[in-house]
Amino acid sequence: MDLKRLRHAIALAEELNFARAAERVHLSQPALSRSIQTLEEELGLPLFDRDNRNVKLTTAGAVFMERARKLTFQMRNLERDMGLIRDAAMGQVAFGVGPLPTASMLPQLVRHVRQTRHGLAMRVSSNNWRNLLVNLKAEQIEFFIADARDILPDPDLTITPICRQHGRFMVRAGHPLLARPARTLADTLPYGFASLLLPVAMKVLFRQVLGLAPDAPLPVMFECDNMHILREVTLDDDVILLATEAAVANEIASGTLAPLDFPGLPPLYAEIGAVQLAGRTLSPAARLVLERLHGIAATAPGTTVFRDGRYQATA
């Protein structure tokens, strides 16, 4: 059944005049008459009684119009909803976020979406990349962002670099090492470190800068996939936090955490990328979220963004 013919019939039922109904639906009177006749033939029922002067609904026509109005209303709603989903203004998007971007990017993302797309629901899994990869392959999420350096090459995955978040050693305000201007990395060992689960490349570099043997255990005294807990532990202890500047920007700004810098230290960083199933087209909402995450990265402190095939420092 043609929805256009339903609209033509509804217009005639409301106007009860072919001339006015034809003008309303932008048809000639003969074209409108043919449309109504075709609809009646499809139904096998007359919907209107008409003579040279009057148009009236039949009993069947009255029943039909009641249903037709509901159907066309639902169709308009469907068209509207599909348009909103296309424009990422409503619907739902499911994605994953690793521990570092959870701390450094997720709050800004949620704030932006709530302000600009309040009809869009987000289902976010915050976890380490291993668990997020399981969720992705089970198609429970469309994509995830995380430090992706330990993910092995896989033809079923597409990994797109987003940014590098540069790491620093952080301590609570008033930490004993802050009062030692001539401090060395060896001075940190008695205090131990707190960190996320480190990528293999970072563990190798960490051992090198601490002067440890390749197979020596790292002096990481507290390891956790939750940056909030890591921050709280560091604020209440003399442990040294290894984190990105972007992940603790608020604490640095407020003075509750302070960077512990060492001359000649090689760059420490997390390499944040977006991981999705190869060959799978992202929904408009997922594309919107990723686009905004790129924008957040471009303004984050201590961050270089991946643009035009290379990493570039943010302004």
pLDDT at 6: 92
- Asked if the model's pLDDT at residue 315 lies above 60, the reply is no
CATH number of the domain within which 7 lies: 1.10.10.10
* pLDDT of the residue at 90: 62
Report if residue 14 sits inside a domain: yes
How would residue 80 be classed by pLDDT, with cut points 50, 70 and 90? low
pLDDT of residue 220: 94
Question: What average pLDDT does the chain have?
Answer: 91
Q: Is position 49 within any domain? A: yes
Note down the domain range covering 46.
Answer: 3-86
pLDDT category at 84 given cuts 50, 70, 90 is low
DSSP state of 175: -
Helix 3-15 with 59-86: angle, nearest 10 deg:
130
Q: What's the number of domains the chain is made of?
A: 1
Q: How far apart are CA 26 and CA 226, in angstroms?
A: 62
Report if residue 25 sits inside a domain: yes
Residue 35 within a domain = yes
Q: Can you tell me the mean pLDDT for 36-45?
A: 94
Q: Give CA–CA dist 240/259, Å, rounded.
A: 10
pLDDT category, 247, cuts 50, 70, 90? very high
54 pLDDT band, cuts 50/70/90, is confident
Q: Is residue 31 part of a domain?
A: yes
Is 59 within the bounds of a domain? yes
In which band, very low, low, confident or very high, does the pLDDT at 120 lie, cut at 50, 70 and 90?
Answer: confident
* In a domain? residue 41: yes
Rounded Cα distance between 76 and 26, Å, is 19
pTM of the model as a whole = 0.73
Task: Look at 313 and 221; give whichever has higher pLDDT.
Answer: 221
Mean pLDDT of 76-101: 79
pLDDT score for 2: 85
The predicted-structure confidence for 105-116, as pLDDT tens digits, reads as follows 999 999 999 898
Q: Within a domain: residue 28?
A: yes
Q: Kindly tell me the number of DSSP H helices and DSSP E strands found in the chain.
A: 11, 13
Calpha distance 196→199 (Å, rounded): 9
pLDDT in tens, 164-196: 999 999 999 999 999 988 888 889 999 999 999
pLDDT of residue 88 exceeding 70, the answer is no
Main-chain dihedrals φ then ψ at residue 16, nearest 5 degrees = 50, 35
Residue 285, SS3 per DSSP: helix
Does the pLDDT of residue 312 top 60, yes or no? Answer: yes
**What are the tens digits of pLDDT across the range 13-32?**
999 999 999 999 999 999 99
